Homo-oligomer: A and B are copies of this chain.
Amino acid sequence: MNFARFDELTAKHKPLLGQAVDANRERRFYAHWPEIPSGKIYGETANADGEQAFKAKLNVDFDRLSQTGDFTLMGEEESPYGFTLGIRYPVYHEETLVGNAVEAGGEWSRLLPIDRASVLVEALERASALFFEIAYATMHTTGQGFMMAFQASGPHSFDRALESIAMGYFAQTFFTSETAWSKPMGKTTVELKKRYRIVPKGVGLAVGCSTFPVWNTLPGVFASLVTGNPVIVKPHPKAVLPIALVVAHMQQTLADLGLNPNIIQLAADTLEHPLAAVLASKPAVKVIDYTGGSAFGVFLEKLGAEQGKVVLAEKAGVNPVILESASNLDAVLDNLAFSVSLYSGQMCTTPQNFFINSNGVMEGDTRIPFEEVVQRFAAKVDAIAANEKIGPSTFGAVQNPQTLDRVREAAQWNVKVVREGGTVAHPGFENARTATTAILQADSTQNMIFEREYFGPVVFVIPTQDYNESMALALHGVKEHGALTVSVYTTDGDQKLDAEDQFTQAGASLSVNFTGPIWVNQSAAFSDFHGTGANPAGSAAFADLSFVTSRFNVVGVREVVA
């Protein structure tokens, strides 16, 4: 082992790793990379440079990867803002990718955890120079507004990656790596030298999604890497560029540090010839991180179970809101309207089902009738959609045309249309595919309709008899179909306690009385777990101990002292 190889890097990054471990444990506010895309922070020309770098990538073959082997060039990305990216990526055969990974994994697995962690922090620090370029790449593959694209794929992703590194570093160094064991046995003492090796599971595969190609991918990638597993990143073929930029830059850092760039590889593919299932089935692939639809998630989970692979999946969920009482209903509705409008509801954390007391919502001593609540909620969405300044950047554009089909499908059920979905105009992008939130009113008995995930700009308001029925319906959805978020609005202390008890027991994270500039859709690295692993929405939580401990084993060696 190369004990001294990365001494300099280790000395440089150990304080940050320590801070990140402490932040994880204390769950306080902590962010290493500033989330404001400000010239004062990132350099006055950073934005313009990033946009230019992005534009220079268009209609050109992507040539930044350092990974080895033969490839063909393919690409099919289109901006939801209305143009074709025209980028072709090197597409590698699965055997090339797995062979490269196995080879690169040998050396990587033998590094000390502190060395791996330091190399990965260095790779993040260097890649953070690309935040603006990654932001434009994200905007024009996912349809996110610029601000979200910057934050989600830049500082927030990188903070989640640092969180994974810190957790993995901690877990691997929890046990001493060697000890002198001395057992008194009557008149004699038995002396053993003992050593403990971290043994990674094998090749990691990270299957990305089209809406958050960096944010949902980096936690698993860095958790696998820090624990010694080489990783193959399989992006969604419609959202390759953002993560390709990260992977290519990381490969450059690895090569600069004298390491094999194939420790992380990009497995670009096409819709016609998808690689995820093929790669997942390879015997050498032992850890699979996945974000996406439930059907393929279940396929991967079954495959993993049969073949002894670890599968950490985030699948679909149906996120409920319970609206019972509030001290300031206007502030509540502002918050909720923004939550559902943000990125046109294309977040796994967007609320979908609003269970509202049909007798009205109490605001202090005043009962606001159900219909009024719903109308005021719809009006708030109208206002965002009509606001030329914040509307376009809030809603962004729609990543997948099928999302619009889903909205149309939802409206065709026997439901009342409270608010029809509309569009927003993006000046400069006349062909942008946009959609504002449709609000549909369903009956509490129509759970066959609303207990499905309608990923995108459609929500249901469901009048209930009372708090108890709201809870029962919301809990049923969580237990049967999973949820990434649950929101409860109540000023009643008993209801708060009850909701906390019941939703946490059902394995769902709870947000209580959210108003102001903090939305249920968002989770903060180092403080909020994303996912719980305790409900059908997924088996992974960014980043609890299980998220890292499942990726390696500890194997002991003991030797009699001669």
A positions within 8 Å CB-CB of B: 24-29, 109, 171, 174-176, 179-185, 188, 190, 192, 194-197, 199, 201, 301-302, 304-306, 327, 496, 500, 503-505, 507-518, 524, 527-529, 532-534, 541, 544-546, 549-550, 553-560, 562
The 7 closest A-B pairs by CB, nearest first: A305-B305, A534-B553, A512-B559, A197-B504, A545-B549, A504-B555, A546-B549
CB distance from A519 to the nearest CB of B (A): 11
Query: Smallest distance from the beta carbon of A156 to chain B beta carbons, Å?
Result: 13
**Are B555 and A508 in contact, with the CB atoms below 8 A?**
yes
Q: Can you list 26 pairs linking A and B with CB atoms under 8 Å apart? A: A25-B174, A25-B175, A25-B176, A28-B180, A29-B184, A109-B505, A171-B545, A183-B518, A185-B517, A194-B528, A197-B504, A199-B507, A201-B534, A305-B306, A504-B555, A504-B557, A508-B555, A509-B558, A512-B560, A513-B559, A515-B560, A532-B555, A541-B553, A544-B554, A546-B546, A546-B550
Q: How far is the CB of A501 from chain B (nearest CB, A)?
A: 8
User: What is the CA–CA distance of A250 and B496 in the complex, to the nearest angstrom?
Assistant: 36
Evaluate contact between B29 and A500: CB separation under 8 angstroms.
Answer: no
Chain B min CB distance to A486 (Å): 9
Give chain B residues whose Cβ lies under 8 Å from the Cβ of A505. Answer: 109, 199
A179–B560 contact, CB under 8 A? no
Instruction: Report if A524-B559 is in contact (Cβ < 8 Å); known contacts: A518-B190, A532-B553.
Output: no
Which residues does chain B contribute within 8 Å of A25, judged by CB atoms?
174-176
Compute how far the CA of A367 lies from the CA of B457 in the bound complex, rounded to whole angstroms: 80
* Residues on the B chain within 8 Å of A27, using CB: 175-176, 179, 181, 194, 196
Q: How far is the CB of A387 from chain B (nearest CB, A)?
A: 20
Are the C-beta atoms of A529 and B507 separated by less than 8 Å? no
**How many Å from the CB of A19 to the closest CB on chain B?**
15
CB <8 Å contact, A562 and B199: no
- Give A513 to B508 CA distance when docked, in angstroms: 51
Smallest Cβ distance from A34 to chain B, in angstroms?
11
Q: Which of B176, B201, B559 is in CB contact (< 8 Å) with A26?
A: B176
With A26-B179, A181-B27 known as contacts, the answer to whether A174 contacts B554 (CB < 8 A) is no
Task: Give which listed residue, B179, B496, B558, contacts A28 with CB less than 8 A.
Answer: B179
CA–CA, A545 to B508, complex, Å? 23
Most chain B CB neighbours (cut-off 10 Å) among A182, A508, A511, A514: A511
Whether the pair A527, B327 counts as a contact (CB closer than 8 A) is no
Closest-CB distance, A219 to chain B (whole angstroms): 15
